[in-house]
Amino acid sequence: MVERHQKQIRLHGFNNLTKTLSFNIYDICYARSPAHREEYLAYIDEEYNADRLTNILTNVADIIGANILNVARQDYDPQGASVTILVSEEPVLSEEKISASTSARPGPYPEDVVAHLDKSHLTVHTYPESHPDNGISTFRADIDVSTCGRISPLKALNYLIHSLESDIVIMDYRVRGFTRDVKGKKHFIDHKINSIQNFLSPETKRNYSMMDVNVYQENIFHTKMMLKDFDLDNYLFGLGKNDYFEKDLKQIEAQLRKEMKEIYYGRNTGSL
């Protein structure tokens, strides 16, 4: 486990470490007819347009205590959106607050504001798509939170996961560059971490199956998450469970689980 209160490194100048959190989230649904698929894409465009994504990233900036310098956003035709926010550092924190904010503990839920951040940028891009034949539609969002300084962007994880409730989450965290202490010794990471899972809330860990692939000597950490259980009614777009025969519902659930497993494992599994 990561220590909650780690002795701080006395630095020579600015902390030049770059810490980047990148993750892909996937939402999957079943829309049987072409009309239902069109309605699904329209729903995604409404639910995840540039305005709402800007609000989400603005909340991330609030959570990590950053000053917003610039916002660029764009909706695309026929679907999709992108947002990029540049932010600047907050005033220097006390050693006590820095120690608390760099510890590996679950980050905030959407209603919480608990940490601060040095120089950073936040980006999100969305990719709705729909299978032409079998009714499966998948929405993907790519999110990056990148910092230069002492604070890890991992503090934003739980807010984003709970703001964009997802079936699959694939996360990468990496630390690049180095900083020097007052004796001239290089430090290639300034906090202890053995898994991104250290930063996830207990609720998230209960709800998802998880798998790690970490390269500790390169400061690269990778975690995949797949939702364990789901209510089929929440995955049927345009129609409800009462509109299908039982055998059709079993087939649809099998298709949804196949889609999730293929995304989670990153390979095609063949026909049902």
- Give the C-alpha separation, 142 to 177, whole Å: 24
| Catalytic one of 125, 130, 137, 163 | 125
Catalytic residue among 103, 120, 130, 137: 120
Which residue in the list 116, 148, 163, 191 is annotated as catalytic? Answer: 148
Q: Is 120 one of the catalytic residues?
A: yes
Active site residue 131: no
Determine the Cα–Cα distance for residues 187 and 201; give it in Å rounded to an integer. 29
Give the pair of three-digit tokens for residue 18: 């770059």
**Cβ atoms 159, 60 nearer than 8 A:** yes
CA distances, 66 to each of 120, 159, 174, 236, 250 (Å): 8, 15, 20, 39, 47
The answer for residues whose C-beta is within 8 angstroms of residue 192's C-beta and 6 or more apart is 2, 3, 6, 104
Look at the chain and count its residues.
272
29 is catalytic: no
Q: Which residues are catalytic?
A: 120, 125, 148
